[in-house]
Amino acid sequence: MTFMTIDMEKCNKDGICVAECPMKIIQMKDEAPVPVAGAETLCIRCGHCVAVCPTAALSLDTLTPSECLPVNKELLLDPKQAEHFLRYRRSIRTYKEKAVDRETLAELIRIASHAPSGHNSQPVSWQVIYERDEVKRLSGMVIDWMKYVIKEQPKVAALLHLDMVVAGWTFGLDTVSRDAPHLILTNGHKTNIMAKPACIIAMTYLELAIPSFGLGGCWNGFFNAAAMTWPPLKEALGLTANNMENHGAMMVGFPKFKYHRMPPRNTPAITWA
């Protein structure tokens, strides 16, 4: 199959694919769209040309119109629904004992993987710490990192109240991973400069999708900080061996309690130029 196929029976020559291609690798020639020379190597496979064509005339060797999810206008949110959807998400810190099944977590990750990434590079590597005992063991390594920071960087430790977290841990209070049954991590290759923002955005997508599955989530900033810097944890996660870095950690589980209200946040600081 050639890189780009345009069905001339269907093409209405409106030039929308030319206008929308982010790489500008489609041009109008004799009033019909055609890929420019070298288009195949420049294409970032974002699928915009396939997705935007009103007559489904354009296919790529890697993507046909029928492989795309059709836009369902009934599922689009109006501004009120968008605000409700975004404000409904809460950081959940009290979980039921019950485990979430692997299929549900995989489905969540699949949905979150539609997050944008620089150059459509999709550099996110997902890591699920599924077993509760393993979450506990790795959280214990975060505590070891905290003890090190308390000793070596007391100002940082004081700012983050690490002494309280460590003290709580010694009598069974887990304020690292909040006794969540699972942790989901987003990792990226060390040499990939697009990995960090992509991982953070993908994790944000995951967090936004979590409540629709009846689940709760919370960013685990302590885990992420330790996974970025503490060699024993980096090794335990297999990051060192694979030249990877952690750029996000999320607790996931069934929430024990329901929230009834959505608190306000500060008025945004905006400057207009």
Among 219, 228, 236, 240, binds ligand FMN (CB under 6 A): 219
Name the minimum Å distance from CB 18 to ligand FMN.
40
Among 22, 154, 214, 221, binds ligand FMN (CB under 6 A): 221
Q: Which range touches ligand FMN (CB under 6 A), out of 12-20, 141-149, 216-224, 230-238?
A: 216-224
Instruction: Enumerate residues 6+ apart whose C-beta is below 8 A from 247.
Output: 186, 187, 188, 195, 196, 199, 200, 203, 224
State the Cα angle at 114 between 116 and 244, rounded to 5°.
70
Q: Is residue 220 a contact residue for ligand FMN (CB under 6 A)?
A: yes
Among 62, 91, 94, 243, binds ligand FMN (CB under 6 A): 91
* C-beta atoms surrounding 193 within 10 Å: 12
Q: Is residue 222 a contact residue for ligand FMN (CB under 6 A)?
A: yes
Name the minimum Å distance from CB 77 to ligand FMN.
19
- Name the amino acid, one letter, at 57: A
Torsion of CA 137, 141, 142, 148, to 10 degrees: 160
Phi, psi of 246, rounded to the nearest 5 degrees: -90, 135
# residues contacting ligand FMN (CB under 6 A):
8
Among 13, 45, 48, 93, binds ligand FMN (CB under 6 A): 93
Residue nearest ligand FMN, CB atom distance: 221
Phi, psi of 190, rounded to the nearest 5 degrees: -55, -35
Query: Site residues (CB under 6 A) for ligand FMN?
Result: 90-91, 93, 218-222
